[in-house]
Amino acid sequence: MKRQFRNKMNILNFKQEGINLLESVDIKVDGTRPWDIKILSDKTYSRVFRDGTLGFGEAYLNGEWECQSLDQLMEKIIRGNLHEKVNRNIKFLLYVFLAKFINYGRKDKAFEVGQHHYDIGNDFFAQMLDKRMVYTCGYWKNAKNLDEAQEAKLDLVCRKVGLKPGMKVLDIGGGWGSFAKFAAEKYGVSVVNITVSKEQVELANKLCKGLSVENRLQDYRDVNGEPYDRIVSLGMFEHVGYKNYRTFMQVIQKNLKEEGLFLLHTIGHNYTTTFVDPWIRRYIFPNAMLPSMKQISESVENLFVIEDWHNFGDDYDKTLMAWLDNFERNWPKLKDKYGKRFYRVWRYWLMTSACTFRLRNCQLWQIVLSKHGITGGYRSIR
């Protein structure tokens, strides 16, 4: 009886503390505004204080809370740093501690993200992405829609590295072959595309049929052959892990011709860290983490000259919301196969991610590197 009473009091205390935290950033429980939250189970409060952002996200997946405008809610939470306040628990601190010592990006774990994320189903990604199936940030400078933004991004990459007919190009983490296909068709180059996803290789072979494109199921550490004129990596560096950044750059340096160029397209953090949010690691990208400018700069020291560093992080907000629109519109075609929980996972992730870029907490960088510096200087292309 005493234990039940203590449990009840603990739940009430967590509830009041949770309500106070939400109200501190202008979010009301059971309020009427689009960003207000409806808590359907009082146990949600104790779950969040026990498990932090992981618990908050899992409570949404379990239907324990609802919100009319999830992205506005998350924008207020992130702006008010509530995620940092609820992550002050033993589980999270242990998670951060272990991340400093465990190499989650080591070679024997390289294919886990392919199996967990990219092998979900090509039908799903075809419904969410643009017509070329580009799974990285679009370039919206002059674009009116997602298809235009992604084609502009692919062409931007080609122009930044100065592709010319006959060149041999390596694309590390090239997914369904979107860049490889575009570069081969538009610029007359031959491309080797490597990925850790079996599903991506299978579809890439179909999409790139008849072109000078080879799609491989391969870890970047196993690339070893004739040097390439150009190397690109679009949206893969987020899976490398900080303990492997130097190794990654050494692989690039070894496989790039002396006069070659390398373009790195990656999401980046405003500050240096060694872990990713535990909800994202569990439900979206296992073993992932975002690099900082400092970590990237240190990884290329004495290997490359940084010729250009371009930030268009705000464009990822537009890209993610466009993916969300496609996802919502095409969900009736997918729901019988994937189910309600899958829907909530992806809706939560897309909106939360969009908010991090909207608030400029995360960036999108395109970095051009050369081995010895471009004679006469590199001309930045925007």
The DSSP letter of residue 170 is E
- Residues 231, 265, single domain; the answer is yes
Amino acid at 265: H
Q: Dump pLDDT digits (tens) for 200-212.
A: 999 999 999 999 9
Last residue of a domain, one of 78, 99, 120: 99
- Residues 222, 76, single domain; the answer is no
Residue 284: inside a domain: yes
Start-end of H helices in the chain: 2-23, 43-61, 70-79, 82-86, 90-99, 112-113, 122-128, 146-160, 178-187, 198-207, 245-255, 278-283, 293-300, 314-358
Residue 377: inside a domain: no
Last residue of a domain, one of 44, 68, 99: 99
- Residues 92, 178, single domain; the answer is no
Q: Dump pLDDT digits (tens) for 223-263.
A: 998 899 999 999 999 999 999 999 999 999 999 999 999 99
Q: Which pLDDT value is given to residue 5?
A: 40
Residue 342: inside a domain: yes
Q: In this structure, what token pair is assigned to residue 246?
A: 């130097």
Residue 269: inside a domain: yes
- Residues 84, 204, single domain; the answer is no
Q: Which pLDDT value is given to residue 12?
A: 64
End-to-end CA distance of the chain: 69
Give the angle 331-267-52 at the CA atoms, nearest 5°: 70
**In angstroms, what is the C-alpha Rg of the chain?**
22
- Residues 74, 118, single domain; the answer is no
- Residues 48, 136, single domain; the answer is no
Q: Edge to edge, what strands does the sheet with 362-370 contain?
A: 213-217, 190-195, 168-172, 228-234, 256-269, 362-370, 305-311
Cα separation of 216 and 176, whole Å?
Answer: 11
pLDDT value at 6 more than 80: no
Cα separation of 115 and 282, whole Å?
Answer: 13
Query: Which has the closest alpha carbon to 138: 326, 264, 263, 321?
Result: 321
Cα separation of 85 and 92, whole Å?
Answer: 11
Query: Which has the closest alpha carbon to 356: 26, 79, 56?
Result: 79
Residue 339: inside a domain: yes
Q: Which pLDDT value is given to residue 372?
A: 96
- Residues 188, 300, single domain; the answer is yes
pLDDT value at 8 more than 60: no
- Residues 218, 164, single domain; the answer is yes
| Phi and psi based region of residue 117 (left: phi greater than 0; alpha: psi -120 to 50; beta: remaining) | alpha
Residue 382: inside a domain: no
State whether the Cα torsion 335-341-344-346 is positive or negative. Answer: negative
Residue 379: inside a domain: no
47 touches 22 (CB < 8 A): no
Q: Which residues pair with 265 in a beta bridge?
A: 234, 366
Q: Which residues pair with 111 in a beta bridge?
A: none
Q: Which pLDDT value is given to residue 225?
A: 83
- Residues 175, 261, single domain; the answer is yes
> In terms of residue numbers, what domain contains 301?
107-370
Q: Dump pLDDT digits (tens) for 283-325.
A: 999 999 999 999 999 999 999 999 999 999 999 999 999 999 9
Query: Which has the closest alpha carbon to 322: 157, 144, 66?
Result: 144
Last residue of a domain, one of 61, 79, 99: 99
Could you tell me the CATH number of the domain that includes residue 165? 3.40.50.150
Q: Which residues pair with 306 in a beta bridge?
A: 369
Q: What are phi and psi of 40, to 5 degrees?
A: -95, -10
Residue 378: inside a domain: no
> Considering the entire predicted model, what is its pTM?
0.94
- Residues 270, 331, single domain; the answer is yes
Number of domains within the chain: 2
Q: Dump pLDDT digits (tens) for 220-230.
A: 999 998 899 99
- Residues 215, 271, single domain; the answer is yes
- Percent of the chain residues topping a pLDDT of 70: 97
- Residues 49, 159, single domain; the answer is no
Q: Which pLDDT value is given to residue 170?
A: 98
pLDDT value at 90 more than 60: yes
- Percent of the chain residues topping a pLDDT of 90: 94
β-pairing, 228-234 vs 168-172, is parallel
Query: Which has the closest alpha carbon to 198: 133, 119, 132, 135?
Result: 119
Q: Which pLDDT value is given to residue 226?
A: 86
For the segment 169-182, the average pLDDT, to the nearest whole number, is 98
Q: Dump pLDDT digits (tens) for 317-333.
A: 999 999 999 999 999 99
Query: Which has the closest alpha carbon to 231: 208, 259, 266, 264?
Result: 264
Amino acid at 59: A
pLDDT classification of 9: cutoffs 50, 70, 90: very low
pLDDT classification of 3: cutoffs 50, 70, 90: low
For the segment 166-194, the average pLDDT, to the nearest whole number, is 98
Cα separation of 52 and 326, whole Å?
Answer: 30
Helices 43-61, 90-99: axis angle to 10 degrees equals: 50
Q: Which residues pair with 190 in a beta bridge?
A: 168
Q: Which pLDDT value is given to residue 250?
A: 98
* Cβ partners under 8 Å of residue 37, min gap 6: 22, 27, 28, 29, 31, 65, 66, 67, 73
For the segment 48-60, the average pLDDT, to the nearest whole number, is 95
